[in-house]
A and B are shown apart, each in its own frame.
Chain A
Amino acid sequence: MIGTPDWGHTTSFEDINGDVAIVGIGETEYTKASGRTARDIGAEAAERAIADAGLEPADIDGLTFSGAFADFDVAAFHEQFGTTHEMWSSPWGGGMSWAGTAPYLAARAINAGKARHVLNVFPVAWATQRASMTGGPGEVHATQTAKQNLEVPFGWFPQPVYFATIMRRHMLEFGTTEAQFGAVAVACRRHANLHPGAVMHGKKMTIDDYLASPYLADPLRLFDSCLISDGGAAYVTTSAERAQDLPAPVVVVRGVAEGLSASGTHWSQQRDFTSTPQVFSAPPAFAMAGLTPQDVDVLTAYDPFTVVSLMQIEDMGFCPKGESGRFVEGDTLFHDAGKLPFNPHGGLLSHAYVLGIAHVVELVKQLRGTAAAQVPGAEVGVYGGYTGAHASTLVLTKA
């Protein structure tokens, strides 16, 4: 195993290379506060994904969703579509890290004959809900005992402060510069400017704009930080065999893996402070796929803050540890530069903060050849999911 194995581990997954394919994708509008509920957003994403797959709601006999949010579960599905059929389901799907591992759950259910067509859905309405949350998306953290007593009273809260501290350490250890973090933000904005559905579609950003943006907590700037959005997306997975009968171009699931940090979401105590559990996830996912980072045509990776993008690029093996700052300078991440096209929809930084589900949908579009900022000739796409405690890696290819 790459890295220092004492601070995390790999979840044991069976080989499902080539067993299943993603055959339908659906997205809602991505917006600032919309006044909509997450359940309503989830229903719309689900309906669009099912239609895109050329299926009817009654054909969907499996559902993966986020148990932590539980905005669109089996009961919501039946209420939305007026159906009553038996459905296999798992609360370990949805967004974040689980947007990458949901196809594994689907493959296991499909291979076991428990389901034929599995829908994974993830909606969020945090832009609408924000005013009623303590510390915004940090609220869930503030309720944890150790954080509430040993971190929050000392001003180490919420996420922008955690990641400012991680950024600082990355700068101290590796010499990473502010402009190098800015290169990630600028690339994501450039892609959002090319993507009519992105929240920041109409707003340009240069590196000078980045360097002029205010610090939230030095060295972390406003433009190092993701948006807060309403929106949702969904995708349908079925067997590779069944996929041949459906209308959409087939995108095959080649590799899936999950890595866990022993310190969970206690970032302060993670032994390898400037790494992500991708260290434990990307190598087994590439091994399952029989591919390497050099084979990847397009990468979408969870980017709540620019430093998380840099750490994941290192930990997934796209450059040596500590060298991501120099690696991303210039046009490396641009969709049309032929190097490492990164978050060509704009990511959480500039597309929408829908917690990774749109990253997977974007990969499917890239491999279908229908993306807004299309990577020429994309055949291999990878998603890097992240929560802090978890990372996931999903390797997809064009059939």
Chain B
Amino acid sequence: MAIKRADFPLPDLEDELTKEFFAGAARNELVIPRCTACGAWVWYPEPACPACGGELAWTSTSGRARLFSWAVVRRPFLPAFAEMIPFVTALVALEEAPEVRIVTYIVDTDPQELTADLPLEVTFRPLSFPTVPDRAVAVPMFRPRP
């Protein structure tokens, strides 16, 4: 059951279900699967629309969201996180589809400034861990909207 992938905990860019999310981030786009038949946003990704069975297409979003909830992590639960603590990991609700909750980092602000439903915008940043030398993956992070 142990995780063998050498670049863990970076995302697996070969994973069929999630790789488009990171491909979008690499071109500064926040993309989420949306059903081409019924229009439902589907998150987490599925092979097909769970509502109608329709085909899903990775679709651009505004990148605007509201802060749903967050935690300030102070204990390095993985060795990869040791140099990052404390950091803010959060769930943010996408503006056009609040049922889509994206797990992300909140950056460019003091944790003390965070409040419920705080307006946020996406910012694409390289994610790297000292335990995975010479690798970085562009990922969506969020910051307060000006």
- When distances are taken between beta carbons in the complex, the residues of chain B under 8 Å from A165 are 69-71, 89-91
Query: Is the Cβ of A149 less than 8 Å from the Cβ of B12?
Result: yes
Chain A 257-299 interface mask (CB, 8 Å, partner B; 1/0): 0000000001011010100000000000000000000000000
| Smallest Cβ-Cβ distance to B105: which chain A residue | A154
Query: Is the Cβ of B9 less than 8 Å from the Cβ of A217?
Result: no
| Smallest Cβ-Cβ distance to A267: which chain B residue | B91
Query: Is the Cβ of B74 less than 8 Å from the Cβ of A216?
Result: yes
- When distances are taken between beta carbons in the complex, the residues of chain A under 8 Å from B91 are 156, 165, 268
Interface: B127 (CB within 8 A): yes
Of B8, B74, B81, B90, which contacts A218 at CB under 8 A? B74
Determine the interface band of chain B, counting residues with CB < 8 A from chain A. Answer: 35 or more
- When distances are taken between beta carbons in the complex, the residues of chain B under 8 Å from A134 are 2-3, 78
Segment of A24-32, A94-102, A138-146 engaged in the interface with chain B: A138-146
From DSSP, what is the main secondary structure of chain A's interface residues? Answer: helix
Q: How many residues of A contact B (CB 8 A)?
A: 43
- When distances are taken between beta carbons in the complex, the residues of chain B under 8 Å from A136 are 77
- When distances are taken between beta carbons in the complex, the residues of chain A under 8 Å from B43 are 269
Chain B 11-46 interface mask (CB, 8 Å, partner A; 1/0): 110010110010000000000000000000001110
- When distances are taken between beta carbons in the complex, the residues of chain A under 8 Å from B64 are none
Interface: B58 (CB within 8 A): no
Query: Is the Cβ of A139 less than 8 Å from the Cβ of B89?
Result: no
Query: Is the Cβ of B18 less than 8 Å from the Cβ of A150?
Result: yes
Interface: A13 (CB within 8 A): no
Interface: B84 (CB within 8 A): yes
| Smallest Cβ-Cβ distance to B116: which chain A residue | A172
Query: Is the Cβ of A161 less than 8 Å from the Cβ of B89?
Result: yes
Nearest-CB distance from A81 to chain B (Å)?
Answer: 29
Q: A155-B87, A165-B91 are in contact. Are A148 and B74 (CB under 8 A)?
A: no
Interface: A157 (CB within 8 A): yes
Interface: A166 (CB within 8 A): yes
| Smallest Cβ-Cβ distance to B12: which chain A residue | A149
A157–B1 CA distance with the chains assembled, in angstroms? 17
A273–B101 CA distance with the chains assembled, in angstroms? 11
Q: A161-B89, A268-B101 are in contact. Are A139 and B2 (CB under 8 A)?
A: yes
List A130-185 residues whose CB lies under 8 Å from chain B.
132-136, 138-140, 142-143, 145-146, 148-158, 160-161, 164-166, 168-169, 172
User: Which 4 pairs of residues, A with B, have the shortest CB-CB distance?
Assistant: A164-B71, A169-B69, A155-B89, A218-B72
